[in-house]
A and B are shown apart, each in its own frame.
Chain A
Amino acid sequence: MLAKIQNNRNLLGYAFMVPAAFLLLVFLTYPLGLGVWLGFTDTKIGRAGSFIGFENYEFLFGDSVARLSLFNTVFYTVVASILKFGLGLWLALLLNKHLPFKTFFRAVILLPWIVPTALSAIVFWWIYDSQFSVISWVLIRLGLIDSYINFLGDPWNARLSTIAANVWRGIPFVAISLLAGLQTISPSLYEAAAIDGATPWQQFRNITLPMLTPIIAVVMTFSVLFTFTDFQLIYVLTRGGPLNATHLMATLSFQRAISGGALGEGAALAIAMVPFLLAAILFSYFGLQRRAWQQGGDR
């Protein structure tokens, strides 16, 4: 009997999947399910709640701060992702060339990604400080401005400053991943194009970009997800201020759920992010998925 089971490839296959399934269920499905459930309850920290249907969502919809945080989050994600993609692709193309000290540069640009966000955020906090900003200090010494720039004290300045810090941190991930993609493109394609007299732009447009789309899809999906759910940077730099101008849904969710004790409402706010994240994933999945010809097919 035992031998029969041991020889049954199907059963053995399932057995090997059990640990992974267990981990997924316990550490992903359960917390997500719990979050969804909490969003439909009025649970407070230290007090079990009861089911209240969509009341939390109605509350949030009518809440000007929650709506502002949605706008902030979308704005933050869209602008930061576009910048990260553009600059990251540019950096990848540069690094793909034969530079001196190539390996050194490739290692160095990963640094912003490696440094813990909480630490780099503190550095940005000093850079943006309203009294001690090094940028303001330099510009004043150069005689370009006559008062310190209010980086984090003005709503729009604060939004753009936090985006700049996020972009700085996110570029290496995009650049290194795209660089890996670039290196899988066969040089013979470029040789053939060169023989046909293609300009560098034509080569980029008709070889590099199409061959890179699958990687771009994956990288940008991840990048958008990371940006949309950013927390640490905002928490260190502004705590959502000034006047809630930089509150993202993640930071507001924390503020409501943990500092404010309204677990249910915080969970609802966090769950409200899911449709946006799903939309981003579906967009990249269907919009940028691998075409047959990219796998060597003939269409």
Chain B
Amino acid sequence: MEELLQAIASGLVVGSLYSLVGVGIVVIYKSTHVFNFAQGGLLMVGAYLAWFFMVRLGMPIWIGLLGGLACAVLMGFLIERFGMRRLVGQPILSLIIVTLALEALIDGVVTLFWGDREYNVYPEFIPPEPVEFLGVILSLQHIIIFIITMVIIGIFILFFKYSKWGLEMRAVAEDQQAAMCMGISTKTVFVIAWIISTVLAYLGGVLLGSINGVSTTLNQIAGNCFPVVLLGGLESIPGVLIAGLIVGVLEYISGQYLDPIVGASTRAVVPYFILILVLIVKPYGLFGLKRIERI
């Protein structure tokens, strides 16, 4: 029982990070219908930016974090303004390929400038002390990361539901032409979507970097987030939240109980296996919208 509870607790923590990264992908998809394959790279560069301000430039932690955040905002703006906007009207596949190219570009640039060290470490701003509850031992770091992630995702759910920009983004996602007729600036919506996405990637990078250290392998987490996003239904933020937690927990439970039987790490396979199973039954994902075209 202790093992199962521990697996669930660890899975929830890691799953919450998947959700956070996944929300960034969903926000872009909701507004532009582009599946952003560069989210992992953006997360990695975000983690490096925070490290650059806090460690390289020696800034106080909170100022360093704000400096990184400002850069993330700028990065989102630049990607949309000088990259994606120029491709408006092009086939959607071209835009997706551009995100793949962006991922490769980020990977190369980060390696070029900062890849000469295996790991870079933040000053300790989230304490790693162990906390025991019901026989489950988590570090305070993990608990705080879980809470922060939940709060951030909660804020974004409210943002999309109640704020003017959030409602405009939903309108653009639903029908760009109709949204434009209503006086909504799609350009502004696209910029906001990319900025939100890079900010989420930045936050994910900082949280992940505080556990693992900052390295060029941080972008690997995106590999687990893609099935999470599809499982959640591509356009649903609550969906991606729940899907992230499900995948995280199942990964750890499979690690606990399947690995000894199979004799290999099943964690990397489990998200995709679940995805296939769910998509067979619900092709639009757990919370995806089933679109019906009336002729």
Say if A and B assemble together.
no
Chain A residues packing against B (C-beta within 8 Å): none
